[in-house]
């Protein structure tokens, strides 16, 4: 066996193991980096050869063929349990191997990552799962440890990950070598930075993508979609994005035609223009498969670029459920591994792009694959068998759209909402959602750690269907749209929306009912008001969120931060699966248990969910009045290492304790870390309605702090050319002085003169105490200012 160790950075080393007489000719689809010129020393002691960089010591035992990793001071981080195991197999008739490598973890060492598993766990010890992209769960072979290291197992075939008393193991169905990257970052942020150095940094999304999004399965006409935006504007409830789901193309034989063939969408340009005239944006559903009567199908089929396995939809009759299998749809998935196929895909997609649509909802990028057989996995792709490259499918198809749009125009930033993710996909301007999850409290609870673990793979942009996708069980009768007035669903929806307020994309979507705010009641009613207040809170935080997005792009930061990222010294944070930091300043502790209604449990998945019947005996509760404003409470843990301000009362609370937070349906427990500097934006109906010329800047004393306000043109890629502005804020807690630094950079349309309304939050303020008040309003023209508070 030939073992190679190669430093990519001082903190990252690639390990490959190849059976003798075979060549290492593998191309990585995730890794885009080339090895840096890393200085390291080599030493030998008996059977051990040690390579030492400035950050990492890597030792190879030549007798056992095992590798171990230590920090620069010699502290052991991870070691292989044994040499890689290669079991001969035939991959679509070609000789290859099953590849397996095991590692030894410390007994109480938490590990994280692996994608968005809906198992409710943050730490993934004693966990086993087959890693590959799916509808509800994306298994990504990236882990990181509380010890500050990460590991990327670079294999694209279905891989069983397991951790048990025998060790932590990656076991891939097919491969010609064992190939992984060990990354030492010192902490979770450092690991993520190394992962993105290897696989690509995160491009910025437009400002409008951080506003509120409304969707439905599905808007059945252009009039319906326009009505939603119009009603939001008339009600004064902010909205920035609207999404058109499937079947705007017509019947299933025209599946994903990338044209408006449905007669209910007979004026698509008028529809897009009308949405834009109402200061909103539209994205549209596109798939990885095509119906047999479409132009893309004919082009791809002529070149042998379509797969022959069962995918969604299986029936050509869209109007009947269950599917009429005696009328097969003929829909086939395209070979996204082929550069020629990706060209054909974009050339057809450009028909929609030319209407001025603002982004893409790339559904089924796993892709959907039913009744899987060995023959299916033998399917030939442009890069080998489907089995060999299965995991890379979403990376390839999403990357194809990103690359082609970037090559077509830089005037509009690429924005892709997609259902599946893989290592490195963060470089392609996409936000991955958790798929067709069921509307239950269990699923809401599971979603929080799923999103956090997904973020820990280096993919920061993720979200979920607010309210869950399948919710027919809350209707009195199947499909009667009574669920928005059913207290069981109302409570679940509001709590999901409050959690979703603090994810990178705030998006209401699902099947079975209409979820627009006006179906839940009227202004002045607790549920309606709670929804509106959540949306308005989101908009007030846009300067904070957009500035955080710059940190994600420029400094490899993350939006969703498990508490262990910032408070590793506090062991109670290591497995905290129900709270997170949103950016560096806000601790979010969403209410994840029903406080006013019973928790109705309905088991379903992405296939059985379509069969959930209504008439679930909800009649009595649906008509029973529930007092959603009655005080309740929820437990919140505040980590050690900081003091915390209750966002709603400004009460200052020491860390390292669990408190009971009083709540109503309108309350989401939020806590601001002492030392935080928080910008708050104006009251708007859409993200760019008003310039940020009178921002409120809140200072939360109790520790020194800093914040960088980032601004640019809000769309286009001029920021890549340095066309943007940053302003650094620094708080000196002892001197009680806020320094507003000199503005760095500029961009067209920038307000060179502005006001900052500085608010010092009183350390003693809270219920019954002196309220927070504006301390000073200062004019800022770009030069440094010191404000004594």
Which 8-state DSSP code applies to residue 300? H
Sign, Cα dihedral of 312, 317, 318, 321: negative
The residue assigned the tokens 């004919």 is 298
Based on the residue annotation, tell me whether 529 is a catalytic residue of this protein.
Answer: no
600, 473 in Cβ contact below 8 A? yes
Which 8-state DSSP code applies to residue 272? H
Nearest 5°: the CA angle 103, 108, 112 is 65
146, 109 in Cβ contact below 8 A? yes
Based on the residue annotation, tell me whether 436 is a catalytic residue of this protein.
Answer: yes
Cα distance between residue 340 and residue 342, in whole Å: 5
At what angle are helices 393-408 and 339-353 packed, to 10 degrees?
Answer: 50
Across-strand partners of 660?
Answer: 635
User: Exactly one of 154, 358, 363, 570 is catalytic; which is it?
Assistant: 363
DSSP characters over 47-59: TEEEEE-SSEEEE
717, 733 in Cβ contact below 8 A? no
Neighbours of 716 (CB within 10 A): 17
Based on the residue annotation, tell me whether 363 is a catalytic residue of this protein.
Answer: yes
Cα distance between residue 726 and residue 623, in whole Å: 53
745, 722 in Cβ contact below 8 A? yes
Across-strand partners of 708?
Answer: 728
DSSP characters over 739-776: EEPPPB---TT--SSEEEEEEEPPTT-STTSPPPEEEE
User: Exactly one of 154, 176, 194, 436 is catalytic; which is it?
Assistant: 436
Residue among 442, 504, 500, 509 nearest 469 (CA)? 509
Give the three-class secondary structure for 135.
Answer: coil
Across-strand partners of 561?
Answer: 581
Q: Compute φ and ψ for 727, nearest 5 degrees.
A: -130, 125
158, 387 in Cβ contact below 8 A? yes
Exposure of 380 in the CB half-sphere (CA atoms within 13 A): 4
DSSP characters over 519-549: GS--TTSHHHHHHHHHHHHHHHTHHHHHHHH
Helices (H), 85-209: 188-199
Residue among 101, 133, 102 nearest 116 (CA)? 133
User: Exactly one of 358, 366, 651, 711 is catalytic; which is it?
Assistant: 366
Tell me which residues are annotated as active site. Answer: 363, 366, 436
């Amino acid at each position: 066996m030939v073992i190679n160790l190669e430093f990519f950075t001082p903190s990252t080393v690639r390990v490959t193991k190849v059976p003798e007489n075979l060549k290492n000719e593998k191309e990585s689809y995730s890794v885009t980096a080339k090895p840096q010129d890393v200085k390291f020393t080599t030493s030998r002691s008996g059977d051990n050869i040690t390579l030492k960089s400035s950050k990492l010591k890597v030792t190879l035992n030549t007798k056992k063929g095992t590798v171990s990793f230590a920090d620069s001071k010699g502290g052991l981080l991870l070691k292989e349990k044994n040499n890689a195991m290669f079991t001969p197999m035939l991959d679509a008739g070609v000789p290859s191997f099953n590849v397996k490598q095991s590692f030894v973890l410390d007994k109480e060492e938490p590990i994280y990552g692996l994608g968005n598993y809906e198992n409710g766990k943050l730490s993934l010890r004693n966990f086993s799962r087959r890693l590959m992209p799916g509808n509800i769960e994306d298994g990504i072979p990236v882990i990181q440890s509380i010890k500050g290291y990460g590991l990327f197992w670079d294999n694209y075939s279905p891989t069983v990950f397991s951790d048990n008393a025998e060790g932590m193991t990656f076991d891939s169905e097919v491969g010609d070598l064992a190939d992984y990257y060990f990354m030492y970052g010192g902490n979770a942020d450092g690991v993520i930075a190394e992962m993105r150095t290897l696989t690509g940094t995160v491009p910025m999304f437009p400002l409008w993508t951080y506003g509120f999004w409304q969707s439905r399965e599905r808007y059945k006409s252009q009039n319906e979609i326009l009505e939603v935006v119009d009603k939001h504007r008339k009600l004064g409830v902010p909205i920035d994005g609207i999404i058109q789901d499937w079947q705007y193309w017509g019947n299933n034989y025209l599946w994903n035609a990338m044209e408006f063939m449905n007669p209910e969408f007979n004026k698509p340009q008028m529809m897009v223009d009308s949405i834009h005239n109402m200061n909103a944006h539209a994205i549209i559903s596109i798939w990885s498969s095509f119906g047999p009567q479409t132009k893309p199908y004919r082009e791809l089929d002529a070149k042998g670029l379509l797969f022959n396995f069962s995918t969604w939809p299986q029936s050509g009759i869209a109007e009947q459920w269950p599917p009429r299998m005696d009328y097969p749809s003929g829909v086939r998935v395209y070979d996204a591994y082929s550069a020629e196929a990706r060209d054909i895909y974009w050339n057809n997609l450009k028909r929609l792009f030319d209407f001025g649509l603002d982004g893409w909802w790339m559904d089924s990028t796993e892709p959907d694959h039913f009744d899987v057989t060995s023959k299916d996995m033998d399917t030939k792709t442009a890069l080998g068998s489907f089995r060999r490259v299965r995991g890379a499918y979403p990376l390839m198809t999403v990357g194809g759209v990103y690359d082609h749009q970037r090559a077509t125009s830089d005037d509009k930033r690429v924005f892709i909402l997609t259902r599946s993710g893989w290592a490195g996909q963060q470089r392609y301007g996409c936000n991955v959602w958790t798929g067709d999850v069921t509307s239950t409290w269990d699923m809401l609870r599971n979603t929080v750690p799923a999103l956090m673990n997904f973020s820990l793979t280096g993919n920061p942009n993720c979200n979920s269907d607010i309210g869950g996708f399948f919710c027919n069980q809350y209707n009195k009768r199947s499909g009667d749209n009574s669920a928005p007035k059913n207290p069981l669903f109302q409570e679940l929806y509001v709590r999901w929306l409050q959690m979703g307020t603090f994810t990178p994309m705030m998006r209401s979507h699902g099947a079975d009912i209409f979820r627009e705010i006006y179906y839940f009641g009227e202004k002045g009613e607790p549920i309606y008001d709670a929804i509106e207040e959540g949306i308005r809170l989101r908009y007030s935080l846009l300067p904070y969120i957009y500035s955080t997005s710059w940190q994600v792009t420029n400094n490899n930061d993350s939006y969703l931060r498990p508490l262990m990222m910032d408070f590793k010294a506090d062991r109670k944070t290591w497995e905290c699966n129900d709270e997170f930091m949103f950016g560096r300043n806000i601790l979010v502790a969403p209410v994840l248990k029903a406080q006013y209604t019973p928790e109705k449990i309905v088991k379903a998945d992405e296939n059985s969910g379509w069969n959930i019947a209504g008439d679930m005996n909800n009649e009595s509760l649906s008509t029973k009045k529930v007092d959603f404003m009655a005080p309740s409470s929820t437990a919140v843990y505040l980590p050690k290492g900081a003091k915390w301000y209750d966002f709603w009362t400004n009460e200052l609370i020491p860390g390292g304790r669990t408190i009971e937070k009083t709540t109503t349906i309108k309350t989401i427990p939020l806590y601001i870390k002492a030392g935080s500097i928080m910008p708050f934006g104006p009251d708007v109906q859409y993200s760019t309605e008003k310039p940020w010329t009178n921002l409120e800047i809140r200072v939360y004393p109790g520790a020194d702090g800093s914040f960088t306000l980032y601004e640019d043109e809000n769309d286009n890629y001029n920021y890549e050319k340095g066309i943007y502005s940053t302003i650094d804020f620094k708080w000196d807690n002892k001197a009680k002085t806020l320094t507003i630094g000199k503005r760095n950079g500029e961009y067209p349309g920038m307000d060179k003169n502005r006001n900052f309304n500085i608010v010092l939050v009183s350390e003693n303020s809270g219920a019954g105490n002196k309220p927070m008040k504006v301390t000073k309003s200062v004019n800022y023209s770009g030069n440094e200012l010191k404000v004594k508070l």
